[in-house]
C-alpha cells in the first residue's frame, strides 16, 4: 500500500539521507503527464511510489527509498522470512533496504523477522547485528540465521535454537550370545586412557534421520556389521553436555541382518582402536562402569533383554511411521510399547458407547 504524502515525507527525512549516502540508486522517471513513478532500485529489490511533478526531487527520492522492502515471504505466525537468494549486492544497499524494511514491517504489524545470511554473504552479518538490531539464532556450515522481534510491548515469542543433540547406542548380539563391543580411538573413552573399556558402538543422529536408521548406520560405519532394528531399550536425558546443549541418548537393540548367526568385523580406524564380539559379562561388569550409574542401568537393560527377549522382559519400544496429520503431507516416526495402528484414539479399535 502507498502511504499518505505526509507520512512518506516524514519517513523520507528520517531515512533517505543515510540510504543515499550508502549508495542506494534512485531513478526518477519524469514526464509532463500526471503522477510520476519513482523507483528505488538495487540489483535485487525495487519499489514504486506515486508522486506528482510538483514535488521536489529530493522528497520524491526519499519517499521512494523508504518503500524498498527486502524480498520475503510471510510465515504462519505473523512474521516474515527474508529471501536469502535475493539479498542486495552490496553491504551498503543491504543496510538501506534493511532499515526501510524494518520501518515498514513495524508499521504493518509484523512480529518476528527471520534473516538467513549465506556464508558467501558473511559481510552482511555485522550490518544486520550492529545496524539492524538482529540477534544470532543459529549457524550451519552454509549460513547464519538471525532474528529480530519487532513488538516492543510483548515478550519475544520466537522459538529458540535447537536445545538438544541426539545420540544412539547400539546393542547387537550374535547367535552365540556375544555382544558387539568397541574401543574408542579418541575422547574420554579412548583405549589409550582406558585400556579395558569395551563399550557399545555409539554416535550422533544426523538431521532428518530416524533413530533406528542412525543406530544401523553407526554399526555399519564403525564395524562393517549389517544389522536390523529390534527395539529401543531406554532413553537417557542429560543437560549441559555439548556447548551448553542438552542431550538425548537412545539405547537401541539390533540383530544381525538376514537372520545371520555371526558377522565379520571391519573397524573404522579413524574412530576405533578395536572392535570384537565379547561375552555379555565383559560389558555389564566393566570396571569403568560406576555401580548404580545411568550406564550401569542401561547395560542392565541390555542384559535383561538378551536373556529374556522383548516379550518376556517387557523391555523395549517398537516404532511405526504414521501420517503427520493436520492436513499436512508427510509422515513421522513414533516410538511406543504398542507400535501398531490398532491402538488409536480414533480410527483403530471402536470406542465403547456411553
In the chain, what are the domain boundaries?
72-149, 164-308
Closest CA to 170 of 181, 178, 157: 181
**Mean pLDDT rounded to a whole number for the chain:** 82
Helix ranges, 110-166 (H): 123-126
Query: Which cell is 91 given?
Result: 553491504
Strand-pairing partners, residue 81, are 73, 114
Give φ, ψ of 299 to 5 degrees.
-70, -30
pLDDT digits (tens, 9 = 90+) for 74-87: 999 999 999 999 99
DSSP string of 205-262, one letter each residue:
PPTT--HHHHHHHHHHHHH---EEEEEEEEEEEEEEEETTEEEEEEEEEEEEGGG-S-
Alpha-carbon distance 172 to 199, whole Å?
A: 11
pLDDT digits (tens, 9 = 90+) for 304-330: 999 998 777 788 999 898 998 888 899
89-114 in b/e form (b: 16+ CB < 10 A) is ebbbbbbbbbbbbbbbbeeeebbbbb
Cβ(158)–Cβ(150) below 8 Å:
no
pLDDT digits (tens, 9 = 90+) for 152-190: 999 999 999 999 999 999 999 999 999 999 999 998 888
- Residue owning grid cell 503427520: 324
pLDDT digits (tens, 9 = 90+) for 256-301: 999 999 999 999 999 999 999 999 999 999 888 899 999 999 999 9
Which CATH code is given to the segment(s) 72-149? 3.40.630.30
**To 5 degrees, how large is the angle CA 214–CA 218–CA 223?**
155
The 3-state DSSP composition of the chain as helix, strand, coil percent (nearest 5) reads 30, 35, 40
What's the pLDDT score for residue 113? 98
CATH homologous superfamily for the domain 164-308: Nucleoside Triphosphate Pyrophosphohydrolase (3.90.79.10)
Alpha-carbon distance 207 to 47, whole Å?
A: 39
Cβ(138)–Cβ(162) below 8 Å:
yes
Radius of gyration of the chain from Cα atoms?
A: 30
pLDDT digits (tens, 9 = 90+) for 23-68: 333 333 333 333 333 333 333 333 333 444 444 444 544 444 445 8
Binned at pLDDT 50, 70 and 90, residue 136 comes out as very high
Binned at pLDDT 50, 70 and 90, residue 226 comes out as very high
Give φ, ψ of 214 to 5 degrees.
-65, -45
- Residue owning grid cell 522383548: 310
User: Is it the case that residue 100 has pLDDT exceeding 70?
Assistant: yes
Q: 164-173 and 245-256 as β-strands: parallel, antiparallel, unpaired? A: parallel
Q: SS3 of 149, please? A: strand
What's the pLDDT score for residue 348? 53
For residue 269, what is the DSSP state? T
Whole-number percent of the chain with pLDDT over 90: 63
Cβ(229)–Cβ(212) below 8 Å:
yes
User: Is it the case that residue 12 has pLDDT exceeding 50?
Assistant: no
Binned at pLDDT 50, 70 and 90, residue 347 comes out as low
Beta-carbon contacts of residue 242 (< 8 Å; ≥ 6 apart): 165
Closest CA to 322 of 293, 298, 345, 302: 345
Amino acid at each position: 500500500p502507498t502511504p499518505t504524502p505526509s507520512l512518506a515525507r516524514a519517513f523520507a527525512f528520517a531515512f533517505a539521507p543515510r540510504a543515499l549516502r550508502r549508495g542506494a540508486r534512485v531513478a526518477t522517471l519524469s514526464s509532463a503527464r500526471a503522477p510520476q513513478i519513482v523507483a528505488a532500485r538495487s540489483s535485487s529489490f525495487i519499489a514504486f511510489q506515486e508522486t506528482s511533478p510538483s514535488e521536489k526531487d529530493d522528497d520524491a527520492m526519499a519517499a521512494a527509498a523508504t518503500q524498498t522492502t527486502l524480498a520475503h515471504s510471510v510465515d504462519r505466525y505473523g512474521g516474515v522470512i527474508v529471501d536469502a537468494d535475493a539479498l542486495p549486492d552490496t553491504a551498503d544497499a543491504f543496510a538501506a533496504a534493511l532499515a526501510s524494511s524494518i520501518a515498514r514491517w513495524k508499521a504493518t504489524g509484523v512480529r518476528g523477522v527471520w534473516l538467513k545470511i549465506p556464508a558467501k554473504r558473511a559481510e552482511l552479518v555485522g550490518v544486520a547485528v550492529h545496524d539492524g538490531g538482529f540477534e544470532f539464532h543459529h549457524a550451519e556450515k552454509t549460513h547464519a540465521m538471525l532474528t529480530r522481534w519487532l513488538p516492543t510491548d510483548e515478550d519475544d515469542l520466537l522459538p529458540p535454537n535447537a536445545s538438544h543433540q541426539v545420540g544412539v547406542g547400539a546393542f547387537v548380539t550374535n547367535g552365540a550370545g556375544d555382544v558387539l563391543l568397541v574401543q574408542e580411538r579418541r575422547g574420554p573413552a579412548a583405549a589409550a586412557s582406558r585400556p579395558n573399556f569395551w563399550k557399545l558402538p555409539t554416535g550422533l543422529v544426523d538431521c532428518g534421520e530416524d533413530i533406528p536408521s542412525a543406530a544401523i548406520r553407526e554399526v555399519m560405519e564403525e564395524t562393517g556389521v549389517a544389522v536390523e532394528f529390534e527395539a529401543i531399550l531406554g532413553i537417557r536425558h542429560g543437560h549441559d553436555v555439548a556447548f551448553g546443549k542438552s542431550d538425548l541418548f537412545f539405547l537401541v537393540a539390533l540383530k544381525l541382518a538376514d537372520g545371520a548367526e555371526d558377522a565379520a568385523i571391519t573397524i573404522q580406524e579413524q574412530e576405533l582402536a578395536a572392535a570384537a564380539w565379547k561375552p555379555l559379562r565383559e560389558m555389564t561388569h566393566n570396571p569403568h562402569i560406576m555401580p548404580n550409574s545411568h550406564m550401569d542401568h542401561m547395560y542392565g537393560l541390555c542384559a535383561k533383554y538378551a536373556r529374556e527377549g522383548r516379550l518376556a522382559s517387557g523391555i523395549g519400544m517398537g516404532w511405526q511411521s504414521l501420517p503427520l496429520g493436520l492436513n499436512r503431507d508427510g509422515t513421522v516416526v513414533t516410538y511406543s510399547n504398542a507400535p501398531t495402528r490398532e491402538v488409536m484414539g480414533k480410527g483403530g479399535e471402536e470406542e465403547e458407547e456411553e
